[in-house]
């Protein structure tokens, strides 16, 4: 990957025209990034001792022929000689090419690198990661969910390909792509000037209901004022006899494909109209106008995440517009907030573990009504009330009294006019009841559930039973459960009733988050793909739940390479709604949030274009080193061996910390003496530095005190601590980190609403508790 020296970056800042030369996307490139994929595997050559076969599988999922040339560099440390592979890939086909290499004894981890060309255009970098054998006794950080336990993650051969990563080269053409703000020269004439140099001839006609949220309306007025150097857009409720208007209105008399769809258009008289079937659609139309046409962005939440680009001419200018847009999903929870349009249908198709809210066990109830609760074959209650209240005891799914209580509460929830789903999901990883009646239900579907831990058919049966008990006025609404834990396997024979929704959970502690879920080199992801396809065929409403942030170690975590493939693929396989558990760790994982939110609105958006726009506009003069920071974060994740718990393995790599630190230092050098009007760029780099140091500090503490193979929580339990860790040097390390954490917590609390959050309060409490418990071990 080529990087620019600091002097060149500064020259681009001083000569902005040189940095914004608009290019067109080369015609040789596939229509979409996802149209082309490359996967690599290896195996010992049975005919030549010491030689390995390297198999390149090339896939063209697109509709165009791709003349493909792969130029592979020599890699003496892997024992690979330079090679060139030429393949004509017809639309919808795949091809395999085999090469050989002779790995030396003692290989640890190294790479075969190269370039991928389409026609005459250099399109992708290529990194093929090769590892040597694991030391005796080595164990992975987590056990993957695989079909065959022989699919071990342990490497015993002299060498094994563990990852293939093929990111695009720099997309210099991003400014002219539809996924970015429309370039001035792309505006359709005649042009319309909404405001210029402090003046406007337009009025905003706000015909939205009085109770509609006015944040988007206020943003529209405010942003035009910033762009046009203080112009004030008058707001009126009724259409005046005025030649130039921006009209906001709800058109419930029209058919709309989605509640959040909108129509944004200009008239022959030069007016602008944003209309939709619901106020949320109008909101999306406002941000469509601001982001797609007026270069206003909300890259991260809170004030520092906002970037309103003020053009040199101080004018808010648009071209002729006539666009109808709708979200990609029926419902999404909008990672990054509604300004990026990812919040659809108010995120209402969201649900989780609920049985404790429906009927919660207590010691008194266990004594008085043992028949209400999950029991083993001998009739003993399967108590599962966990320390920290992360889970509770399940109830019996066939007890008549329980069914009556649960159905009553579900109807009460759905009686709310804004509710569209109620959760029937069991408590987290709690075993299901094994009483005689419940066992008979399992048997009726041909399901084998001897330990209460294969419960898919029972889960569907219970959901169908609750569905049948909904009041007539609630029949059009949904009941939902998570396709997760003991009910993630496909059912033996049960079929969900209409109105029963599932949400499949892509658990990072069971499945592989180092690569897209359709990458066949990952055994656990091969299984997940079969599950996703099966549930997509089974469920009329299927959600997708994922974890695109490092909620365990708070460190760098490249998930963009996955999100760009996984969300479009999920929709193709039947997913209709999304609920992403992206913890607000913006300072460390902000790019993941931004890309996820944009894809929740439009899964077909070009992710490279979104990233290049993010780097250029969010970091300004520091765009180049921060681009390197984020792309190398992706690289370090994507080139890990396959398997669960990618977050832990990322943070355990000293090379990653050292390289990312160098990119941050380069960015800090550029922004340290910026004028006051550009101080936001320095604050954004500092915010990223804070997120980096939060994760690096925790990693250093874990390295000093904790054994390697430990769970995500409870690192400080005595059995998991190194017996020789409690030295004066480690105490000083711990105290320095404790002071830093306390100072940052105070700083971010004082800047609430301005700085993208460092860590949510509940995780900050956990971190400070972890530090305090380690301190006590010194006493």
- pLDDT for 12 equals 38
Contact 629, 495 (CB under 8 A): no
User: What secondary structure does DSSP assign to 136-157, as a single string?
Assistant: TT---SS----S-TT--S---S
**Helix extents (H) in 307-399:** 355-358, 363-368
For 140-250, strand residue ranges (E) read: 160-165, 192-196, 203-206, 235-236, 245-250
Residue 621 confidence class, pLDDT cut points 50, 70, 90: very high
Question: What architecture (CATH level 2) is domain 33-169?
Answer: Sandwich (2.60)
Residue 573 clears pLDDT 80, i.e. is over it? yes
pLDDT tens by residue, 650-682: 999 999 999 999 999 999 999 999 999 999 999
542-545/575-578 β-pairing: parallel
Over residues 159-170, the mean pLDDT reads 97
Residue 176 clears pLDDT 90, i.e. is over it? yes
343-344/331-333 β-pairing: antiparallel
User: What residue has token string 């190269």?
Assistant: 114
**Average pLDDT score, the chain:** 94
Which uninterrupted H or E stretch holds 279? helix 279-288
Which uninterrupted H or E stretch holds 214? none
Contact 257, 284 (CB under 8 A): no
Pick the closest to residue 598 from 291, 295, 278, 304 (CA basis): 291
Question: Cβ contacts of residue 2 below 8 Å, gap of 6+?
Answer: 170
DSSP 8-state secondary structure symbol assigned to residue 105: T
Over residues 748-777, the mean pLDDT reads 94
- pLDDT for 708 equals 66
How far is CA 752 from each of CA 324, 594, 677, 766, rounded to the nearest angstrom? 36, 19, 21, 20
Pick the closest to residue 34 from 497, 606, 493 (CA basis): 606
Length of the chain as a residue count: 779
pTM beyond cutoff 0.85: yes
Q: And the tokens for 603?
A: 């899964």
Distance CA 267, CA 45 (A): 68
Over residues 37-46, the mean pLDDT reads 97
3-state secondary structure 551-591: CCCCCCCCCHHHHHHHHHHHHHCCEEEECCCCCCCHHHHHH
Residue 148 clears pLDDT 90, i.e. is over it? no
pLDDT tens by residue, 491-505: 999 999 999 999 999
Which uninterrupted H or E stretch holds 220? helix 215-227
Over residues 126-133, the mean pLDDT reads 97
Question: Cβ contacts of residue 451 below 8 Å, gap of 6+?
Answer: 431, 434
Residue 211 confidence class, pLDDT cut points 50, 70, 90: confident
Contact 623, 615 (CB under 8 A): yes
> Could you tell me the residue ranges of all domains in the chain?
33-169, 175-326, 350-491, 506-779
Residue 716 clears pLDDT 80, i.e. is over it? no
DSSP 8-state secondary structure symbol assigned to residue 135: P
Query: Exposed/middle/buried for 493, CB within 10 Å: 0-12, 13-18, 19+?
Result: exposed
Residue 11 clears pLDDT 50, i.e. is over it? no
Contact 576, 652 (CB under 8 A): no
Residue 1 clears pLDDT 50, i.e. is over it? no
The separation between CA 633 and the C-alpha centre of its own chain, rounded to angstroms, equals 14
Over residues 437-454, the mean pLDDT reads 94
Pick the closest to residue 571 from 610, 544, 598 (CA basis): 544
- pLDDT for 213 equals 86
Distance CA 233, CA 316 (A): 12
- pLDDT for 336 equals 82
Query: Exposed/middle/buried for 751, CB within 10 Å: 0-12, 13-18, 19+?
Result: middle
Over residues 684-701, the mean pLDDT reads 97
- pLDDT for 13 equals 40
Residue 20 confidence class, pLDDT cut points 50, 70, 90: low
| Burial letters 248-267, b for 16+ CB under 10 A, else e | bbbbeeeebebbbbbbbebe
Long-range Cβ contacts of 368-372 (<8 Å, 24+ apart): 369/401, 371/396, 371/399, 371/401, 371/435, 372/396, 372/399, 372/401, 372/402
Pick the closest to residue 663 from 644, 642, 641, 689 (CA basis): 689
- pLDDT for 709 equals 53
Which uninterrupted H or E stretch holds 693? helix 679-705
Over residues 244-268, the mean pLDDT reads 96
pLDDT tens by residue, 327-355: 999 999 998 889 999 999 999 999 999 99
- pLDDT for 9 equals 38
Pick the closest to residue 334 from 298, 385, 363, 360 (CA basis): 298
Over residues 180-186, the mean pLDDT reads 95
Fold of 175-326: Chitobiase; domain 2 (3.30.379)
How far is CA 37 from each of CA 114, 197, 341, rounded to the nearest angstrom? 15, 49, 29
Distance CA 559, CA 676 (A): 34
Over residues 464-482, the mean pLDDT reads 98
- pLDDT for 17 equals 36
How far is CA 150 from each of CA 49, 86, 556, rounded to the nearest angstrom? 24, 35, 31
Share of the chain above pLDDT 70, in %: 96
Distance CA 438, CA 458 (A): 8
Distance CA 467, CA 486 (A): 21
State the Cα angle at 9 between 624 and 181, rounded to 5°.
Answer: 55
Indicate the range of 54-63, 237-246, 571-580 predicted with least confidence.
Answer: 237-246
What are the φ/ψ torsions at residue 694 (nearest 5 degrees)? -60, -50
- pLDDT for 553 equals 92
- pLDDT for 698 equals 96
Residue 241 confidence class, pLDDT cut points 50, 70, 90: confident
Pick the closest to residue 67 from 85, 83, 86 (CA basis): 86
Contact 6, 624 (CB under 8 A): no
Over residues 230-255, the mean pLDDT reads 91
Q: Name the β-bridge partners of 381.
A: 375
Half-sphere exposure at residue 16, Cβ-oriented, CA atoms within 13 angstroms: 7
- pLDDT for 310 equals 94
Contact 444, 438 (CB under 8 A): no
Distance CA 26, CA 460 (A): 50
What are the φ/ψ torsions at residue 627 (nearest 5 degrees)? -60, -45
Fold match between 33-169 and 175-326? no
Over residues 416-435, the mean pLDDT reads 97
Q: Name the β-bridge partners of 115.
A: 71, 125
Residue 717 confidence class, pLDDT cut points 50, 70, 90: low
Pick the closest to residue 770 from 738, 740, 746, 731 (CA basis): 738
Residue 5 clears pLDDT 90, i.e. is over it? no
């Amino acid at each position: 990957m080529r990087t620019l020296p600091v002097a060149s970056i500064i020259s681009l800042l001083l000569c902005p025209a040189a940095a914004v030369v608009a290019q067109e996307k080369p015609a040789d490139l596939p229509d979409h990034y996802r149209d082309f994929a490359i996967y690599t595997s290896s195996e010992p050559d049975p005919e030549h001792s010491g030689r390995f076969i390297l198999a390149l599988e090339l896939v063209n999922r697109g509709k165009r022929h791709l003349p493909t040339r792969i130029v592979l560099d020599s890699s003496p440390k892997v024992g690979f000689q330079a090679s060139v592979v030429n393949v004509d890939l017809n639309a919808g086909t795949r091809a395999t090419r085999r090469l050989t290499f002779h790995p030396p004894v003692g290989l640890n981890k190294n790479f075969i690198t190269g370039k991928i060309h389409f026609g005459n255009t250099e399109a992708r970098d290529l990194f093929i990661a090769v590892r040597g054998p694991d030391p005796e006794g080595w164990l992975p950080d987590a056990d993957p969910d695989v079909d065959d336990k022989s699919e071990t993650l342990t490497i015993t051969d002299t060498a094994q390909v563990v990852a293939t990563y093929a990111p695009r080269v720099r997309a210099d053409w991003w400014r002219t792509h539809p996924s970015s703000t429309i370039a001035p020269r792309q505006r359709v004439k005649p042009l319309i000037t909404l405001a210029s140099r402090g003046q406007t001839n337009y009025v905003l006609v706000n015909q939205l209901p009085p109770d509609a949220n006015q944040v988007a309306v206020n943003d529209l007025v405010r942003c035009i004022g910033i762009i046009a150097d203080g112009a004030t857009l008058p707001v009126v409720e009724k259409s005046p006899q005025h030649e130039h208007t921006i009209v906001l209105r709800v058109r419930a008399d029209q058919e709309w494909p989605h509640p959040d769809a909108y129509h944004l258009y200009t008239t022959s008289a030069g007016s602008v109209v944003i209309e939709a079937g619901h106020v949320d659609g109008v909101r999306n139309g406002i941000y469509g106008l601001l982001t797609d046409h007026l270069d206003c962005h909300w890259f991260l939440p809170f004030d520092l995440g906002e970037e309103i680009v003020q053009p040199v001419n101080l004018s808010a200018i648009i071209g002729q517009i006539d666009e109808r847009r709708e979200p990609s999903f029926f419902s999404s929870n909008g990672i990054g907030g509604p300004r990026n349009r990812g919040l659809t249908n108010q995120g209402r198709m969201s649900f989780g573990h609920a049985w404790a809210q429906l009927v919660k066990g207590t010691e008194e109830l266990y004594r008085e009504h043992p028949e209400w609760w999950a029991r083993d074959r001998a009739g003993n209650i399967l108590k599962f009330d966990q320390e920290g209240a992360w889970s509770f005891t399940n109830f019996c799914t066939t007890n008549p009294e329980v069914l009556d209580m649960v159905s009553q509460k579900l109807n009460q929830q759905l009686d709310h006019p804004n509710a569209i789903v109620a959760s029937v999901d069991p408590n987290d990883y709690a075993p299901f009841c094994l009483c005689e009646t419940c066992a008979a239900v399992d048997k009726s579907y041909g399901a084998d559930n001897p330990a209460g831990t294969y419960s898919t058919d029972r889960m569907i049966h219970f959901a169908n039973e609750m569905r049948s008990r909904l009041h007539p006025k609630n029949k059009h609404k949904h009941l939902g459960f998570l396709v997760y834990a003991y009910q993630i396997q496909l059912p033996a024979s049960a079929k969900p009733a209409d109105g029963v929704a599932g949400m499949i959970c892509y658990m990072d502690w069971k499945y592989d988050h180092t690569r897209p879920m359709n990458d066949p080199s990952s055994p656990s992801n091969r299984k997940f793909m079969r599950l996703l396809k099966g549930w997509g065929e089974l469920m009329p409403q299927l959600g997708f739940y994922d974890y695109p942030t490092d909620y365990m170690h708070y460190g760098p975590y490249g998930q963009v390479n996955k999100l760009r493939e996984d969300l479009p693929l999920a929709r193709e396989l039947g997913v209709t709604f999304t609920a992403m558990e992206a913890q607000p760790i913006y300072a460390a994982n902000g790019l993941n949030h931004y890309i996820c939110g944009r894809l929740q609105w439009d899964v077909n958006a070009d992710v490279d274009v979104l990233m290049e726009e993010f780097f250029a506009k969010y970091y300004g003069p520091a765009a180049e080193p921060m681009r390197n920071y984020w792309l190398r974060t992706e690289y370090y994740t994507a080139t890990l061996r396959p398997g669960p718990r990618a977050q832990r393995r990322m943070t355990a790599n000293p090379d990653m910390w050292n390289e990312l630190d160098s990119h941050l230092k380069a960015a800090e050098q550029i922004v340290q003496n910026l004028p006051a009007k550009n101080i936001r760029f320095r604050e954004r780099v500092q915010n990223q530095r804070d997120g980096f140091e939060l994760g690096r500090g925790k990693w250093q503490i874990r390295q000093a005190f904790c054994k390697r193979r430990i769970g995500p929580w409870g690192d400080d339990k005595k059995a998991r601590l190194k017996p020789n860790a409690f030295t004066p040097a480690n105490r000083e390390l711990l105290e320095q980190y404790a002071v830093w954490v306390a100072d940052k917590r105070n700083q971010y609390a004082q800047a609430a609403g301005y700085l993208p959050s460092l860590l949510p309060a509940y995780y900050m409490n956990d971190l400070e508790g972890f530090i305090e418990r380690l301190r006590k071990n010194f006493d």
